[in-house]
Structure 1
Amino acid sequence: MDLQYSKKAFENYLNDYDRKNEKIMLKIVHTYGVMECSKKIAEDMKLPAEDCELAQLIGLLHDIGRFEQLKCYNSFEPGTMNHAAFGAKILFEKRLIRCFVEEDKWDEIIKTAIGHHSDYCLKGITNKRELMHAQIIRDADKLDNCRVKLETAIEILLGVTAEQVGMSEITPEVMRQFKNHKSILLETRKTKMDYWISYLAYFYDINFKATYESIRDNHYVDKIIGRIPYTNPDTGKQMEQIRNEMNLYIQNAIKENGNYK
């Protein structure tokens, strides 16, 4: 496995897309961020060198379907395209994978991890190594998405200003899912605050202690909550409840060595 070769192939792949598009650039930076997060998680787990490199390769390719989604629809909305399934399809049905890695010995692991990285939850993966890499990419994706949510303009993320987000309500169904320590079902999001809550609720679907420790050490819960001015007083009160509950959940998850439910 030659990661430098893979990166060069990825840069060549990007030549078909508009790097001046802010959403395209967001995803390019995110891709390399996820690679680094994958490397850190794998190294913290003390995995063999091959698995550390494989985790990075999966990170490099995990969102390859996003670029076509943005080219066609200029949207991240799941209703426009299942980018994970599309990414796995172009890599393995159209054999694009051979542009990035010559060997085929890791194909099933890569296909499984990429194809399932944005699922609501992981189900039906019986091979332990495939499951491990699917879990690593999901954690790494969430970790770098914390950076994305803090560095990217709210208008790009949600299509409205931060002030408009803070004026909206959290719908009861979304709040119910959060209090039940569940990720938010995407189709239940109605308001912009529902979307913002969903970016916090995915901390309920973290697999490894190292990931929780990164969330805690970088104060991601407090920082993400702090980006929005909550001019709706009811929303402001709910966000303080969410802050306290999520921080406590993360502390308990670390004590339980990850996989806390």
Structure 2
Amino acid sequence: MEKQELHIDFKVAKAAFEKYLDEYDRTDDKIQLKIVHTYCVVDAAEEIATRMHLREEDVQLAKIIGLLHDIGRFEQIKRFHSFEPGTMDHAMYGADLLFGPEQMIRRFVKDPSFDQLICVAIAKHSDFKLEGIEDERTLLHARLIRDADKLDNCRVKLEESMETLLDMDEKTVGASPISPKVWESCKAEESVLSADRKTGMDYWMSYLALYFDINFPETYQIIKEQDYIRRIAERVPYSREDTKEKVAYTVKKLEEKMNIQP
């Protein structure tokens, strides 16, 4: 009996994604940031999956999930011109957009066999903690998209203007204090809750603290190879001595975490 062909065609998905983007203003800095981010997450997902020696079907699935993971961001930017989670749950919105009554997912992936896996991975990719997934393959891809997303966020934090990221310049960020709750999260070596971020430095520390929550040693290896942690930390001029010490401490803890990975 001939094996049934599975319709995971990244070229088809990419063409449909480009058509979807025509509904948005590509000249908007935030829209452009997310377009570039999307394709870089695709590359990051492929790189991690390849280093993990996953089978080709899973590599292609990882790329499709990377392509669609932030599809909800574009409407969030159009409506609110913001990335703030308080304006919209972009991950859940994206999953609803793709898998709701209109079944937009069929524009990108013809075979429905992967719908549940893709939906869960997208819906949960920005959750504070990844919980409640029992299926092993779904959990693999949910972890993979989170790592790929964070991996490209290293590049974003180094390349994008601070005004696009935080609506303030580097000096303003570096002159602001770190709130107690944010510092407690960093000391506990865990991600920072969005609601705890009040100042520019809170946001910048939360970007570093993201890397306490990496799933695969292959991802940490790429971060080490690119020296991302140190480079992100050094982008901002810190005018407060206590801030310099706290950033140095956080960088040290992240480097220790990366170095104990197998």
**Shorter-chain TM-score range:** over 0.9
Question: Of 74, 82, 94, which aligns to 1:75?
Answer: 82
Superposed displacement of residue 37, structure 1: 0.5
Query: Aligned to 2:22, what secondary structure does the other structure show?
Result: helix
Query: Aligned to 2:238, what secondary structure does the other structure show?
Result: coil
Question: Of 197, 201, 205, which aligns to 2:205?
Answer: 197
- The equivalent of 1:209 in structure 2 is 217
Distance 2:114 2:252 in 1: 42
Deviations 1:163-199 (A, max 9, x none): 0000011111111111111110111111110100111
Question: Of 244, 248, 259, which aligns to 1:251?
Answer: 259
- The equivalent of 1:61 in structure 2 is 68
Paired residues, what number? 254
Superposed displacement of residue 250, structure 1: 1.4
Superposed displacement of residue 232, structure 1: 1.6
Unaligned ranges ≥5, structure 2: 1-7
Query: Aligned to 1:125, what secondary structure does the other structure show?
Result: coil
Superposed displacement of residue 208, structure 1: 0.3
Deviations 1:125-177 (A, max 9, x none): 00000000000000000000100000000111011110000001111111111
Distance 1:105 1:243 in 2: 42
Distance 2:96 2:249 in 1: 41
- The equivalent of 2:250 in structure 1 is 242
- The equivalent of 1:188 in structure 2 is 196
Question: Of 48, 52, 67, which aligns to 1:45?
Answer: 52
User: How do 1:94-133 residues align onto structure 2 when only pairs under 5 Å count?
Assistant: 94-133=102-141
Distance 1:237 1:146 in 2: 21
The runs of at least 4 aligned residues of structure 1 exceeding 3 Å deviation read none
2:59 matched to 1:32?
A: no
- The equivalent of 1:141 in structure 2 is 149
Deviations 1:203-233 (A, max 9, x none): 1110000000111111111000010000122
TM-score normalized with structure 1 length: 0.96
User: How do 1:155-174 residues align onto structure 2 when only pairs under 5 Å count?
Assistant: 155-174=163-182
- The equivalent of 2:94 in structure 1 is 87
2:15 matched to 1:8?
A: yes
2:248 matched to 1:230?
A: no
Kindly provide the amino acid, as one letter, of the partner of residue 67 in structure 1: F
Distance 2:253 2:9 in 1: 43
Supply the RMSD in Å over aligned alpha carbons.
0.7
- The equivalent of 1:150 in structure 2 is 158
Kindly provide the amino acid, as one letter, of the partner of residue 50 in structure 2: E
Deviations 1:78-100 (A, max 9, x none): 00000000000010013100011
Superposed displacement of residue 54, structure 1: 0.4
Superposed displacement of residue 249, structure 1: 1.7
Deviations 1:109-129 (A, max 9, x none): 100000000000111100000
TM-score normalized with structure 2 length: 0.96
Distance 1:129 1:203 in 2: 23
Distance 2:67 2:182 in 1: 32
Unaligned ranges ≥5, structure 1: none
Kindly provide the amino acid, as one letter, of the partner of residue 62 in structure 1: H
2:23 matched to 1:23?
A: no
